[in-house]
């Protein structure tokens, strides 16, 4: 359990005890001693947290287990991302995400995704739009980034005023390969869609020298990386900090990370992509990507307004298109 979680649990317990005491005191018509001793300053409300990268059936996780993960990690709402072709090993249908949304409308923000090799893909996405979906993602199919079918869904998001979450992974068995060559073209051509960058190749470009043969480079970051430049030039690009790829990049060089976030404070998005059920990594070797990233960010970012942006407000703007 992280320090953060432990302290928020303690606070919750104290609040509950306090409420019980007030209830008993009201019955007895007396003022409880704890109330007299309470400081004038009201307790700070818990920070709102929007996880921009969550799936449901990671390791066969149910909808309820996914909500349990959100409760355990202090997550207010989440972008829940289907993966209909399952090319990365997890298959999640857009219908399941819509089902979760109907069960938990205050917690689930439904995205859609479907096989972009099928000729009716744009019609299907327009139908998901009518059914309440709010964006496309996770776009993770074995097609290069400059494939016309990838461009067609980006263009549709532009038309619908939607975000799209893209898994960038170069290499022969990768997804949307060719970020360095093609991403800028799309950012320039389609300025309404919010492109949310995720995964190994996106994060390898935190440094100016991303190696071609290593998806998880370590060691100090060489300033002047493509990510820094694109975030500076294109306000429609957002960085999804989820999963091992995000955490690995952000912990390579913490001083550089803080500088990068402070240069682009409106474009970083908290996300977990966590497959665990309980916020403690019970079924994931003791690691929870959500609590792990919260502990890092809370430790290194000292500006409370920036933390509020990264944890919630930026995701809301990426969703609504109010950049
Ligand atoms: Zn994912
Ligand atoms: Zn977790």
Closest listed residue to residue 203, CA positions, set 168, 234, 157, 232: 168
Tokens of 10: 């303690």
Ligand in nearest proximity to the CA of 75: 2
- Please say whether the beta carbons of 47 and 77 come within 8 A: no
Ligand in nearest proximity to the CA of 53: 1
**For residue 6, what pLDDT is reported?**
41
Ligand in nearest proximity to the CA of 58: 1
Average pLDDT for runs of 10 along the chain of length 323: 42 46 44 52 82 93 96 97 94 97 98 97 98 97 98 98 98 96 98 98 96 92 97 98 97 97 98 95 92 97 97 98 74
132 in the Ramachandran plot: left (φ > 0), alpha (ψ -120 to 50) or beta? Answer: left
Q: What angle do CA 211, 153, 248 make, to 5 degrees?
A: 30
Ligand in nearest proximity to the CA of 56: 1
- CA of 59 relative to ligand 2 center, distance in Å: 12
- CA of 176 relative to ligand 1 center, distance in Å: 14
- CA of 17 relative to ligand 1 center, distance in Å: 39
Ligand in nearest proximity to the CA of 2: 2
- CA of 65 relative to ligand 1 center, distance in Å: 17
Task: Give the position of tokens 């709402």.
Answer: 77
- CA of 70 relative to ligand 2 center, distance in Å: 8
Query: Which residues does 259 contact at the CB level (< 8 Å), separation at least 6?
Result: none
- CA of 294 relative to ligand 2 center, distance in Å: 11
Query: How far is 49 from 217, CA to CA, in rounded Å?
Result: 29
**For residue 27, what pLDDT is reported?**
43
**For residue 21, what pLDDT is reported?**
45
- CA of 13 relative to ligand 1 center, distance in Å: 33
H-helix segments, 139-253: 148-160, 179-189, 200-204, 226-233, 243-250
**For residue 290, what pLDDT is reported?**
97
Q: What is the DSSP letter of 72?
A: H
- CA of 243 relative to ligand 1 center, distance in Å: 8
DSSP string, 4-15: HHHHHHHHHHHH
Ligand in nearest proximity to the CA of 271: 1
Ligand in nearest proximity to the CA of 240: 1
Task: Give the position of tokens 């996106």.
Answer: 202
Residues with CB under 5 A from ligand 1 (ion): 138, 273
- CA of 137 relative to ligand 1 center, distance in Å: 9
Own/partner pairs, 56-62, CB within 8 angstroms, 24+ separation: 56/80, 56/92, 56/96, 56/97, 56/100, 57/90, 57/91, 57/92, 57/96, 58/90, 58/274, 58/275, 59/275, 59/277, 59/283, 59/284, 61/275, 61/277
- Please say whether the beta carbons of 69 and 279 come within 8 A: yes
- CA of 273 relative to ligand 1 center, distance in Å: 5
Report pTM: 0.86
**For residue 181, what pLDDT is reported?**
97
CATH: 3.20.20.140, 3.50.50.60, 2.40.30.10, 3.10.270.10. Which one for 50-320?
3.20.20.140
Cα-flanking dihedrals φ and ψ of residue 83, to 5°?
-140, 85
| Pair type for strands 136-139 and 77-80 | unpaired
Ligand in nearest proximity to the CA of 140: 1
- CA of 195 relative to ligand 1 center, distance in Å: 15
Domain extents in the chain: 3-35, 50-320
């Amino acid at each position: 359990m992280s320090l953060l979680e432990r302290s928020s649990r303690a606070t919750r317990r104290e609040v509950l005890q306090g409420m019980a005491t007030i209830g008993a005191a009201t019955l007895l018509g007396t003022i409880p001693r704890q109330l007299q001793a309470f400081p004038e300053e009201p307790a700070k409300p818990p920070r709102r947290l929007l996880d921009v990268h969550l799936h449901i059936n990671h390791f066969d996780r149910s909808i309820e287990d996914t909500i349990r993960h959100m409760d355990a990690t202090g997550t207010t709402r989440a972008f829940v991302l289907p993966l209909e072709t399952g090319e990365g090993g997890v298959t999640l249908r857009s219908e399941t995400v819509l089902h979760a949304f109907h069960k938990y409308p205050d917690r689930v923000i439904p995205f859609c995704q479907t096989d972009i090799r099928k000729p009716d893909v744009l019609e299907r996405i327009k139908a998901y739009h009518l059914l309440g979906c709010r964006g496309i993602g996770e776009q993770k199919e074995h097609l290069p980034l400059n494939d016309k079918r990838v461009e067609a869904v980006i263009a549709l998001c532009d038309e619908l005023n939607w975000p799209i979450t893209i898994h960038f992974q170069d290499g022969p068995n990768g997804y949307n390969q060719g970020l360095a060559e093609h991403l800028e073209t799309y950012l320039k051509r389609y300025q309404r869609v919010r492109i949310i960058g995720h995964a190994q190749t996106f994060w390898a470009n935190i440094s100016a020298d991303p190696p071609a043969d290593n998806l998880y480079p370590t060691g100090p970051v060489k300033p002047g990386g493509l990510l820094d430049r694109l975030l500076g030039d294109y306000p429609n690009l957002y960085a999804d900090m989820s999963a091992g790829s995000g955490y690995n990049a952000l912990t390579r060089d913490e001083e550089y990370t803080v500088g990068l976030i402070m240069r682009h404070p409106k474009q970083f998005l908290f996300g977990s992509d966590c497959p665990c059920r309980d916020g403690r990594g019970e079924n994931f070797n003791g690691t929870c990507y959500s609590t792990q990233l919260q502990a890092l960010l809370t430790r290194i970012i000292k500006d409370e307004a920036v933390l509020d942006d990264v944890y919630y407000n930026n995701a809301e703007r990426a969703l609504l298109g109010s950049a």
